[in-house]
Structure 1
Amino acid sequence: MTSAACAVENGDGCVYCVLDVHAGSKREEFPAGVNIWRNAVGCSIRAPPVEGKANKAIVKLVSSVLSVPKSSVTIVSGQTSSVKRICIAGMDKDALVNTLDSCL
């Protein structure tokens, strides 16, 4: 098993995580494995990548899995890409990695 640590880094007041997003999937899943070539955590969502629907679904799913408010999850780069960098306020790297690894 590969750890999610390769996709997570501490930031200023938040922790950053790189996501490899699969929009339009049959089911929603986070984390959905680790992509070692992209150093990213997998994230599958049902919403299509149209008019920001996928980005809203990502924020909702990530906040739900991590038990943080939606306002604590921000997509900081990759708004129109399948590889996104998110910022999660109120968490540190160790807590996020432990939570993600326990779900893998």
Structure 2
Amino acid sequence: MTLSSSDIEKTIQDTDDGIIFSIEVTTNSKNPGFPIGFNIWRNAFGIAVKASPIEGKANKDIIALIAETLKIQKNTVTIISGHTSTIKKVKISGISREDILTLFQKAERD
């Protein structure tokens, strides 16, 4: 799946200590992955996780999958809104807009 730079740029918000972006979550997936598309209307990256949305299991999987895909530490990834929704805002601390663009491009090549 190829994301364009403009897709990534549209959804990223800069903060003082990192970036924020939106994700659209599919739970109970047999094929977990991130990013698995881009919802242009919601400006959200798709993510699929194996866990069910019970007792925060899916949220834990989301954090782990984003960190694993982008090869960053889990403690830098935080869900800041939408904890019980399929649309969530995720913050990654310690990186810039340029960093996340590079990480997404590298993840696509791997």
The residue type paired with residue 24 of structure 2 is D
Provide the secondary structure at the position in 1 that maps to 2:19: strand
Provide the secondary structure at the position in 2 that maps to 1:16: strand
| Structure 2, unpaired ranges of 5+ | none
How many residue pairs match? The answer is 104
The residue type paired with residue 64 of structure 2 is K
Q: 1:26 aligns with which of 2, 26, 30?
A: 30
% identity of equivalent residues? 35
Q: 1:49 aligns with which of 37, 47, 53?
A: 53
Does the aligned pair in 2 maintain the 1:8–1:97 contact within 8 Å? no
Separation of aligned partners in 2, 1:6 and 1:14? 16
In the other structure, the counterpart of 1:14 is 18
- Deviation by residue 1:39-83 (Cα, 9 ceiling, x = unmatched): 001111111111100000000000111111111000000000000
Cα RMSD (Å): 1.6
State the shift of 1:9 in Å.
1.3
1:92 aligns with 2:61: no
In the other structure, the counterpart of 1:77 is 81
State the shift of 1:17 in Å.
1.2
The residue type paired with residue 8 of structure 2 is A
The residue type paired with residue 37 of structure 2 is G
The residue type paired with residue 11 of structure 2 is A
Separation of aligned partners in 1, 2:26 and 2:10? 19
Separation of aligned partners in 1, 2:28 and 2:11? 23
Could you say which structure has the greater relative contact order, defined with CA pairs below 8 angstroms and 6 or more residues apart?
1
State the shift of 1:12 in Å.
1.7
The residue type paired with residue 51 of structure 1 is E
Stretch moving more, 93-102 or 22-31? 93-102
